[in-house]
Amino acid sequence: MSVADERRTDTRSQIREVALELFAEQGYDKTSLREIAERLGITKAAVYYHFKTKEEILSSLFDEVIGGLDGIVDWVRTQPQGPATHAEVLRRYQRLFTGESAGQLIRFLQEGQASFKDLAVGTTMKERFGSLAAALTPPGGTPEEQLRFRLSLIAIHLGAFHTEGIDGTAAERSAAALAIAQDLVR
């Protein structure tokens, strides 16, 4: 990779990181490309070089998660239904949301639903979440079973960022969220 390519990738990555911070802090609708550029200390034109719109930045933030969800759904469809499969799906799902930026992404998903739901990436995430919940639910599952599987996924979300006032390390809180999620589907 050339030096110019490395700089381009680094700037693109920095734009994504700052955009996610701003989206999580003040919401998608209240964040502008100008603010992203200002926080980075670059020109708005430099942001436009990498991303034409805020939605393009947002979509790029979710590409990895969407790919991960697709991989989990593909995997679970080849496995027998049962507690071991469900536990592994939840572990894999939790790995998608590990780290600070992943926590911000989940925070944005939870708190920014109003603006997010009308965007193409919002529709895609909703579809993937539904596919994963459907793949986890036994055929002909009762409403209670269906709800348990969806709530188990949401427990992972909550463990990724709603941890203020909860004692323990990030790893301990993450383990607790996983344990609760797995209890829901037993």
Domain match, 42 and 31 both: yes
Confidence of residue 55 (pLDDT cuts 50, 70, 90): very high
64 and 153 share a domain? yes
Neighbouring C-beta atoms of residue 23, cutoff 10 Å? 26
Whether residue 36 has pLDDT greater than 90: yes
Position 157 pLDDT exceeds 90: no
At 47, which CATH number? 1.10.10.60
Domain shared by 23 and 106, yes or no: no
Q: Which residue has the tokens 């990738």?
A: 9
Contact 126, 105 (CB under 8 A): no
pTM metric for this prediction: 0.80
Q: Tell me the C-alpha distance between 53 and 111, whole Å.
A: 21
Residue that wins the pLDDT comparison between 134 and 72? 72
Is 135 within 8 Å of 77 (Cβ atoms)? yes
CA–CA–CA angle 11, 115, 166 (5° rounding): 80
Same domain, 104 and 37: no
DSSP 138: P
Q: Are residues 154 and 78 in the same domain?
A: yes
Q: Are residues 82 and 43 in the same domain?
A: no
74 and 143 assigned to the same domain: yes
Angle (nearest 5°) at CA 86 between 135 and 103 = 90
Which range among 35-39, 91-95, 99-103, 151-155 has the greatest average pLDDT? 35-39
**Parent domain of 129:** 55-184
CA distances from 34 to 53, 97, 99, 116 (A): 11, 28, 27, 20
Read off the pLDDT of residues 68-115 as tens digits, 9 standing for 90 and up: 999 999 999 999 988 899 999 999 999 888 766 676 777 777 777 777
Q: 98 and 166 share a domain?
A: yes
Q: Are 93 and 155 contained in the same domain?
A: yes
In sign, the C-alpha dihedral spanning 99, 10, 65, 122 is positive
